[in-house]
A = this chain, B = another copy of it.
Amino acid sequence: MTTVQGARARARIEITAAIKDEARRQLAAEGAAKLSLRAVARELGMVSSALYRYFPSRDDLLTALIIDAYDAVGAVAERAHADAVSTAPGDHLAHWTAVCRAVRSWAVAHPHEYALIYGSPVPGYTAPQDTVGPAARVGLLLVATARGAHEAGGVTPPPLPDGLAPEAERLAAEEAADLPPALAVALVRAWAQLFGLVSFEVFGQFHRIVEDRDAFFAAAAERLGREVGLAPRP
């Protein structure tokens, strides 16, 4: 139920968006640490104190950008997943790699926003509760691909070592009650490893090491899917 809003409310929405846009521009140009409220305000032709009407502090602006970034990468990943499901309904490994490639593409295209959400947390700053929903989207998508494959039968995650059994059952019960514990553990593992691959590429650790990044990542994503058990592991 979105009611018609007065000029004031509309202006507030537009100005808030303009602030975030300009902040994103500075983020892309200089990085998060050099994001300056005063510079944003200056560029928008207002005075710095006016900006505090829209964001109580610099951290709150960053939080808004973080949520937007989680939503952005989540959206492209969900779209890629949906496309893969519709074009190759039974190929669960393809669904998996489609999500992986979407995440990587977005990260490479928006390195600073990626760094904001998957890089070192900003000092003293603890993510507020608002971020957990958007932050979980990609992870839930990976669970969804695994669930699709599991329901179709034939998912074979690696066996669980004995010591990990209790943790695995707790994890499955809390996050995906319909999945076998070994699959839940393999998923969390692959989730972290996927972002390890993406982070190393975005943060430049592959400099002078990996040249054909597309081919390298494609192969890695496929291996990751096989390791989860979406296809045989040769």
Report A's interface with B, CB cutoff 8 A.
Answer: 30-34, 112, 115-116, 118-124, 127, 158-161, 163-164, 166-167, 170-171, 175, 185, 188-189, 191-197, 199-201, 203-206, 209-212, 215-216, 218-220, 222-223, 227, 233-234
Contact = CB atoms under 8 A, between A and B. Distances in A.
A168 to B, nearest CB: 9
A89 B96 CA distance: 39
- Residue of A192, A201, A233 with highest tally of chain B CB at under 10 A: A192
Contacts of A200: 191-192, 195-196
Given A121-B204, A124-B31, A124-B34, A161 B211 contact: no
22 contacts: A31-B124, A33-B122, A34-B124, A115-B121, A118-B205, A120-B203, A121-B203, A161-B215, A161-B222, A164-B215, A164-B219, A167-B211, A188-B216, A189-B197, A189-B223, A192-B199, A193-B196, A193-B197, A194-B196, A195-B200, A196-B196, A196-B197
B122 A119 contact: no
Contacts of A171: 209-211
A210 B123 CA distance: 23
Given A171-B209, A195-B196, A195-B200, A115 B120 contact: yes
Contact of A196 (B32, B192, B204, B216): B192
Contacts of A203: 118-121
